[in-house]
Amino acid sequence: MFGQQPPGSKLVRQDQPRLFERIDRIASLFGQQPPSEIYLTDDVDVGVCQEGGFMGFGAKNVICLGLPVFHFLTVSQLDAVLAQTFAHFRGRHHRVWPWLRETRDSLDVAKGMMNYYEKWMILPLLFNWYEKLFTRVARHIFGTQRFAADRSAAVAIGPRIYGEALLTIARKQGAFTEYLYHEVRPAVGRGYHPPVMEGFNAFLAFAGPRQQPEKIREDPEGGSLSVADRLAAIRDLPAGPSGDPSPAISLLNNVPELEMRLLLLEAPSGTEELRSIPWTQAASCSVLPNWHALCRLHAFKLIGLTLGDLPRTIADLDSYGVLWGPDADVEVARECSKSLFIAALGRILTCEGWYIDHSPGYLRLRRLNDEIDPTQLLEEMASPGFSP
């Protein structure tokens, strides 16, 4: 349930008739009514949301469609992913999700309280037993539901098509999320609209390959199903038809407008329009201003720190990480510290005549024939044999 904040940009039938007709057709295959509402998001995913009701009862069914999915999938592959969503609806799987989510959140709160207050430590054995039991039960429920929905979608559309859709989403999901957070949203936060899909192609070229999708788990901590597990569950089905190879993006009208509406949801409050820029301008319009803003915001963490101190500080990053607060996750604190050091280093060097050479997934500082990769430099500083 998403309460007062919608999950994305709402789509209406009169603006997107081809998409809604496609969704109606898939819904009818599963004997389901079309969803009450459809939202477009910036995720590489197609999922079920709910609005209203209590603990899943009396709620309106809502489908959330990721705009990137339309760029990555064919029409038939999108059909397959939608079929999996309606298989969840038919199985009433979503009714148990709010309860599982609320219980998981309550367990996390309780664990935090026991870690914070020593007097609660008289109950660790009982609590740990219950948490492990709940995790095991929830994992079984999710796994059973996911296998059932996967198989239903594969039977309805074809296992080959569904398997291709599953692999495509797995291959793109992690990289696009990283690209969105590190490249697109910082530019949007400054009021700019860079070309999203063009930038993602460049990001993939520079950032290199990701983990093989067959090994990716949707929830590593929860031990949920890998893509290989899910593909193996439909391998015995007949291949099925070849399907419609047309790009799924052809189902949408006014794609640039839809993209702009999504990005405006990430823009600072009150922003009515974003200025379109090419990625060649992102260094001056986004990267450098965000470095300045980050250094100003966390100036007290940089007090007394010189360039000469940086190797020693990087080598003992966990000690520096306490500046982010006693409750900060260790890994998060490390990444925040690295981002702050890169911003501070970049700010100093640009004042000394260096310029930023930037593309999505690529960042160098250059002056004449000299080149610095800030991320690699921090890694080298952390090694015992580093010398300036």
The domain ranges of the chain are 9-266, 278-381
Q: Cα–Cα distance between 334 and 328 in angstroms, integer?
A: 10
3-state class (DSSP) for residue 270? coil
DSSP for residue 121: G
Summarised one tens digit per residue, pLDDT across range 244-284 is 999 999 999 999 999 999 999 999 988 889 999 999 999 99
CA distances from residue 285 to 193, 196, 292 in whole angstroms, order as listed: 11, 16, 12
Please report the pLDDT score of residue 220 as a whole number: 41
Q: What is the pLDDT of residue 1?
A: 42
State phi, psi for 277 to the nearest 5 degrees. -135, 150
* Structure confidence at residue 221 (pLDDT): 41
Q: Which residues contact 211 (CB under 8 A, 6 or more apart)?
A: 174
Look up tokens 């800030």; give the residue.
374
Angle between helices 330-351 and 374-381 (to 10 degrees): 120
Q: Which of helix, strand or coil describes residue 376?
A: helix
Average pLDDT on 107-111 reads: 71
Give the per-residue pLDDT at 352: 93
Check if the beta carbon of residue 96 is closer than 8 Å to that of residue 141: yes
What angle (nearest 5°) sits at the alpha carbon of residue 179, between those of residues 323 and 85? Answer: 110
Per-residue pLDDT at 203 exceeds 80: yes
Instruction: Choose the weakest-confidence range: 48-52, 233-237, 276-280, 313-317.
Output: 48-52
Q: Rounded mean pLDDT of 53-79?
A: 84
pLDDT digits 0-9 by tens, 297-332: 999 999 888 888 888 888 888 888 778 887 778 888
How far is Cα 176 from Cα 171, in angstroms, rounded to an integer?
9
pLDDT band at 222 (very low <50, low <70, confident <90, very high): very low
Residue 113 has pLDDT above 70, yes or no: no
- Tokens representing 148 are 């059932």
Between 9-13, 62-66, 99-103, the lowest mean confidence (pLDDT) is in 99-103
- Rounded to an integer, what distance in angstroms lies between the CA atom of residue 303 and that of residue 306? 9
Compute CA distances 33 → 24, 26, 30, 148, whole Å.
8, 10, 9, 20
d(Cα 322, Cα 200) in Å, to the nearest integer?
A: 34
Structure token pair of residue 189? 């936060």
pLDDT(370) > 80: yes
C-alpha span between 357 and 367 (Å, rounded): 10
Burial track 260-295 (b if 16+ CB lie within 10 A, e otherwise): bebbbbebeeeeeebeebebeebbebbbbebbeebb
> What is the model's pLDDT at position 223?
46
Average pLDDT, the chain: 85
pTM of the model: 0.83
For residues 94 and 275, the model is more confident at: 275
103 vs 44, 45, 82, 121, 130, CA distance in Å? 27, 24, 28, 20, 11
pLDDT value at 348 more than 80: yes
Q: What are phi and psi of 192, to 5 degrees?
A: -120, 155
Q: What is the DSSP string of 266-305?
A: HSPTT----EE--GGGHIIIIIHHHHHHHHHHTHHHHTT-
Residues 50 and 95: their CA atoms lie apart, in Å, by: 10
pLDDT at 259: 95
How many CA atoms, within 13 angstroms, populate the side-chain half-sphere of residue 10? 9
- Report the distance separating Cα 227 and Cα 233, nearest Å: 10
pLDDT band at 65 (very low <50, low <70, confident <90, very high): very high
Are 84 and 147 spatial neighbours (Cβ–Cβ below 8 Å)? no
167-177 pLDDT, tens per residue?
999 889 889 99
Closest to 120 in 3D by CA, of 110, 130, 129, 128: 110
Task: Return the pLDDT at 72.
Answer: 96
218 pLDDT band, cuts 50/70/90, is: low
Give dist(CA 84, CA 342) in Å, integer.
43
